[in-house]
């Protein structure tokens, strides 16, 4: 394992860092730049996206215009820089769920599907959503419980069912849908593409949540006869789990990459206050209790970075890195929650206010332990891998 960054990738990373410092942090500090859902408003977003595109800092999860690819290790370094600002990922077209949708389409879509469904997302012309989770008694943590059905009628599939918590659905034009096409236990699910303007489905509601929202919110959808041509299936019938695994592994990992950027931002805000604030004749930064809090966060962030880099490296070798992704996801999701909590504590009442970004991160962080697999599900996966690989679970990669 070698996490050394090639100089050209470090150049991209450094340019992202500069863009965040010069453009996004000042914008984030301007209340007029926010929308009603705790995200960057559409007008400044479009302005910033144009600048990011002109700077060549755009859709870095796909091959660059010159054909080079920064790979997952390169993405780890770049995504962390992007999310020093809460506006970062969406400005660079690397926010969930478009990020994961683009990566899976890049990997699995046919050339015709890429042109129709991927290229407009990559160009920033449309947004997308990934519709898998269902309300009780449908599929959530356990995809074998998915009930939304797609019945084949000639060259068309007709969809009936319900989904919820579909991020971005209100603003999305392109949807990836996971639906049941048979009761086969391993090949019962299939993945489809559909467009917002097709009839036979609707948004029942935008679900209220405790945290800030991605553009388009988190929605509950109903399908009552949506017709999808067979040509809009990703891979073949029955390969929905393969599509899901291909999408969720990298998407979980890029969540972790972004969350590390947010965790580092929390430390930054805490250090800034601790350096300036005095009480009982002592600067906060000179108190050992504060130093221990920050030191513990520093070690935990670096542990997260190493777990993320190892999983990214696994994926760059063409593997899923399932155990590595699960370890990174559990660690970084909990770290983000703790980083926001500790930073709020160090900032006192200021930390609880909307004067800093900490309360935003704290509300957002709670979802990290649920989305793309709850902590407990990832622990279950890890236990399964340990049980099936025995002592081999702990092996090192050997050169050659
Ligand atoms: C903000 C947000 C955005 C989301 N965006 C999307 C999206 O865009 N598309 C989409 O399809 N879904 C999305 N989801 C849904 C998310 O992926 C699911 O919430 C997650 O997979 C868990 O499913 P569930 O909510 O049905 O929980 P359930 O399956 O009902 O589980 C509830 C709880 O039970 C426990 N549990 C479950 N399984 C086990 C186990 N094996 N062992 C021990 N304990 C267990 C866990 O604590 C879990 O939190 C989003 C969710 C949130 C909160």
pLDDT in tens, 88-125: 999 999 999 999 999 999 999 999 999 999 999 999 99
- Whole-angstrom Cα distance, residue 159 to residue 155? 13
Give residue-wise pLDDT tens across range 219-234.
999 999 999 999 999 9
User: Which residue bears the tokens 């890195």?
Assistant: 321
- Whole-angstrom Cα distance, residue 44 to residue 214? 15
364 in ligand 1 pocket by Cβ < 6 Å?
no
Which pair of tokens denotes residue 196? 């917002």
Binned at pLDDT 50, 70 and 90, residue 275 comes out as: very high
97 in ligand 1 pocket by Cβ < 6 Å?
yes
Handedness of CA 269, 275, 276, 281 (dihedral sign): positive
Binned at pLDDT 50, 70 and 90, residue 399 comes out as: confident
* Beta carbons of 233 and 281 less than 8 angstroms apart: no
The number of angstroms, rounded, from the C-alpha of 371 to the middle of its chain's C-alpha atoms is 9
Give the model's pLDDT for residue 6.
Answer: 96
Report the separation in Å between the CA atom of 270 and the middle of ligand 1, taken as the mean of its atom positions.
Answer: 31
* Beta carbons of 61 and 10 less than 8 angstroms apart: no
372 in ligand 1 pocket by Cβ < 6 Å?
yes
Give residue-wise pLDDT tens across range 3-18.
899 999 999 999 999 9
What average pLDDT score do residues 379-393 get? 96
> Domains in the chain, please, with CATH?
7-95 (1.10.540.10), 128-238 (2.40.110.10), 241-394 (1.20.140.10)
**Beta-strand pair 174-180/128-131:** parallel
Nearest to 325 by CA among 385, 277, 275: 385
Report the separation in Å between the CA atom of 66 and the middle of ligand 1, taken as the mean of its atom positions.
Answer: 39
Report the separation in Å between the CA atom of 369 and the middle of ligand 1, taken as the mean of its atom positions.
Answer: 9
Determine which residue's CA is closest to atom 37 belonging to ligand 1. 141
Peptide bond before residue 97 is cis, with ω within 30 degrees of 0: yes
Determine which residue's CA is closest to atom 32 belonging to ligand 1. 141
* Beta carbons of 400 and 378 less than 8 angstroms apart: no
Q: Which residues pair with 202 in a beta bridge?
A: 222
- Whole-angstrom Cα distance, residue 212 to residue 361? 9
Longest dimension (CA), the chain: 80
Report the separation in Å between the CA atom of 366 and the middle of ligand 1, taken as the mean of its atom positions.
Answer: 12
The number of angstroms, rounded, from the C-alpha of 225 to the middle of its chain's C-alpha atoms is 30
Give the model's pLDDT for residue 302.
Answer: 98
Among 134, 140, 164, 258, which residue has the most ligand 1 atoms within 8 Å of its CB, making it the best to mutate? 140
Determine which residue's CA is closest to atom 12 belonging to ligand 1. 133
Report the separation in Å between the CA atom of 251 and the middle of ligand 1, taken as the mean of its atom positions.
Answer: 15
Nearest to 213 by CA among 158, 265, 170: 170
Binned at pLDDT 50, 70 and 90, residue 246 comes out as: very high
218 in ligand 1 pocket by Cβ < 6 Å?
yes
What average pLDDT score do residues 172-194 get? 98
Binned at pLDDT 50, 70 and 90, residue 192 comes out as: very high
Give residue-wise pLDDT tens across range 287-319.
999 999 999 999 999 999 999 999 999 999 999
What average pLDDT score do residues 40-47 get? 98
């Amino acid at each position: 394992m070698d996490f050394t960054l090639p100089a050209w990738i470090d150049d991209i990373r450094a340019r992202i860092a500069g863009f965040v410092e010069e453009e996004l942090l000042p914008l984030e500090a301007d209340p007029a730049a926010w929308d009603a859902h705790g995200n960057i408003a559409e007008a400044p977003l479009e302005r910033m996206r144009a600048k990011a595109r002109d700077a060549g800092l755009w859709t870095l999860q796909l091959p660059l215009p010159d054909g080079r690819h920064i790979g997952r290790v390169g993405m780890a370094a770049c995504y962390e820089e992007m999310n020093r600002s809460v506006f970062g990922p969406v400005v660079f077209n690397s926010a969930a769920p478009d990020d994961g949708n683009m990566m899976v389409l890049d990997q699995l879509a046919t050339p015709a599907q890429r042109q129709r469904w991927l290229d407009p997302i990559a160009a920033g012309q449309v947004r997308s959503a990934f519709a898998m989770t269902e309300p009780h008694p449908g599929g959530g943590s356990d995809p074998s419980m998915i009930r939304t059905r797609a019945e084949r009628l000639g060259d068309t599939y007709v969809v009936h069912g319900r989904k919820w918590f579909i991020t971005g659905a209100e603003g999305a034009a392109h949807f990836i849908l996971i639906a049941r096409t048979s009761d086969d236990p391993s090949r019962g699910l299939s993945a489809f593409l559909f467009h917002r303007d097709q009839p036979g489905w609707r948004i029942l509601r935008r679900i209220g949540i405790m945290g800030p929202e991605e553009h388009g919110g988190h929605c509950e959808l109903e399908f009552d006869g949506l017709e999808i041509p067979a040509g809009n299936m990703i891979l073949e019938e029955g390969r929905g789990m393969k599509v899901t695994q291909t999408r969720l592994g990298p998407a979980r990992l890029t969540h972790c990459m972004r969350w590390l950027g947010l965790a580092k931002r929390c430390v930054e805000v805490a250090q800034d206050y601790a350096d300036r604030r005095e009480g009982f004749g002592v600067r906060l930064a000179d108190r050992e209790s504060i130093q221990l809090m920050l030191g513990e966060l520093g070690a935990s962030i670096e542990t997260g970075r190493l777990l993320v880099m190892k999983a990214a490296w696994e994926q760059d070798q063409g593997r899923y890195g399932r155990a590595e992704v699960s370890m990174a996801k559990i660690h970084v999701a909990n770290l983000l929650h703790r980083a926001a909590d500790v930073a709020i504590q160090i900032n006192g009442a200021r930390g609880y206010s909307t004067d800093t970004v900490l309360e935003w991160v704290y509300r957002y962080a709670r979802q990290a332990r649920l989305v793309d697999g709850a902590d407990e599900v990832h622990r279950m996966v890890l236990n399964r891998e340990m049980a099936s690989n025995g002592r081999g679970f702990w092996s090192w990669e050997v050169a050659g």
